[in-house]
Chains A and B, each alone.
Chain A
Amino acid sequence: MSFAVTAKSSVSASPAVEFRSVEKRYGQGPIILDAFSLSAAHGDFIALIGPSGCGKSTLLKLVAGLSPVSRGELIFSKSSATTRLANATGSSSASARDDLAYVFQEPTLLPWLTVAQNVALPLDLRAVPSAQRTALVRDALALVGLTPRADYYPRQLSGGQKMRVSIARALVLSPQILLLDEPFGALDEMTRDHLNEELLAIRERLRWTAFFVTHSVAEAVFLANRIIIMSANPGRLHREIRVDLPYPRTPATRRDPAYHRLVDEVSQLLRSIEDPATV
């Protein structure tokens, strides 16, 4: 496994993550993701939406380095340097993905650790000194409003609270890139709306670049500044919709006529993919 690393200076304008004709297949299997090109600027909140099998979760795994790119390039840049991962590099690439966090569909907490210990896990695995650890965990728990639950075990929490812990764990290392794979899919609508608002409130304070996979059009429009609509078999970028609703967005945003127009537009585009006869 070889990969070339090129460093440039003063590239604050360069994209945070850039896909260049990325292709993904597992072994000799069918193409999951075909010629996918996308450039995500620093601070972008990108929602990925599309029918199942369109490769949106695979896309997150590629960014996370949990699975290697089959063809094409995936390029990361920090504010000071660009790291280029040439095609077919492994998941072991060093510094480029240090500032990356993943929120899975399920809370994925360790049941034998308390809330605070779960949030501290990324710090433990990287041997962060304990004085610093305590402060970082406290801040992350405060961000998601779970300070009073620090010593609870996961099974003592509700579904929404568990997801909050999962988010706090992702944020504890102050990531530059945040990957969210349908994190609120299993929650009831009230809780989901609430957590969406919280996520945007946190974003006002910590500016990450987010990739958010979802099945909910309303959620995508509410959160993202860019919505990528994908089609399946093989997974392709179908259309991109820009969401120009201003941040910070609040519950009032959901009553904005512009919000409803966008929800309608994205819904129709999605329907046209799922049923080609109506195109």
Chain B
Amino acid sequence: MPRPKLLSVFLPALAGALFIAIWHFVRVSLSEDFRFLLPAPTEVITAFREHGDELWRATLNTTAGATLGFLAAVAVSFTLSLLLSLSPLVRVTFYPYLMLLQMTPIIVFAPILVLWVGPGLKSVTIITFLICFFPLAVNTTQGLVSTDRNLVELFRLYRATKFQEILRLRIPAALPFFFTGLRIAATLAPIGALVGDYTAGSSAGDGGGLGFQTIIYSSQAKYPALFATAAACCALGFIFVAGVLSLSWLTLHQWHDSYERADI
């Protein structure tokens, strides 16, 4: 169906053009003295060119922190969810502490973390991990314990082993829940890395990320560069979310109701 596909490219492009037009209009309507508040689109592009190298390096550093923290959160939360799903007793015992982990304010925790592991990639990774962990663990656990009772009985009837039940029934049945958690975590991972870098980043060995650049540019009043930094953050977030959405589509679209197909 070519028509909706064309529309789905054309309409967002139109909205984008409209947005830039409004931006430009607002800027020219400002008096000369206040124009520094809103740099022109061209100024942001110039800032990209001027600070290209350091922005690129900062983006790579933030990407590294976000990716490592995200992957660690996926691995650890999945293992923990499997353990939590085994018994209600285990869940009751550990759930309050899982909540506590989520309540921990990163801003307060960051200096402690710097004290423990030092500033830079390690701290950024751990902060990203902490931010991504909770939605992943909660959703995956929920998925693992929400298996259709009739399906469980079916497996018991055919005398499936506990291992078969987990691998062939509980985990696939939990996938839609897992992906819900993964989507939330994907939006949080770049933000986590940014906040981590802002609060516990380090410029040592060119290790500064976008958060660190934010501090530098704002202290130097380089507003167009700040806009460029924000754009880089957006791009990073977009890549994360698009990646997870694609993975989710590849895994679920054939069988899950959330992906209605028109050709049925």
Q: Spell out A's residues near B (CB within 8 Å).
A: 64-66, 91, 100, 102, 104, 106, 108, 110-113, 121-122, 124-126, 153-156
Contacts and interface: CB of A to CB of B under 8 A. Distances in A.
15 contacts: A66-B153, A66-B156, A91-B156, A100-B157, A102-B153, A102-B157, A104-B153, A111-B256, A111-B257, A112-B173, A121-B154, A126-B158, A153-B254, A153-B255, A156-B264
Contact of A104 (B150, B169, B255): B150
B22 interface: no
B32 interface: no
Interface of B: 148, 150-151, 153-160, 164, 168-169, 172-173, 175, 254-257, 264
Contacts of B264: 155-156
B175 A112 contact: yes
A11 to B, nearest CB: 25
Contacts of B148: 108
B157 A64 contact: yes
B157 A108 contact: no
Contacts of A66: 153, 156-157
B172 A110 contact: yes
Nearest to A124: B168
Contact of B154 (A65, A108, A113): A108
Nearest to B165: A125
B158 A121 contact: yes
Contacts of B169: 110
Given A91-B156, A125-B155, A111 B150 contact: no
A112 B164 contact: no
Nearest to B156: A66
Contacts of A125: 155, 158-160, 164, 168
Contacts of B151: 108, 110
B158 A122 contact: yes
B146 to A, nearest CB: 13
B179 to A, nearest CB: 13
A153 B168 CA distance: 16
- Of the listed residues B153, B164, B175, the one surrounded by the most CB atoms of chain A closer than 10 A to its CB is B153
Contacts of B172: 110, 112
A154 B158 contact: no
Contacts of B164: 125
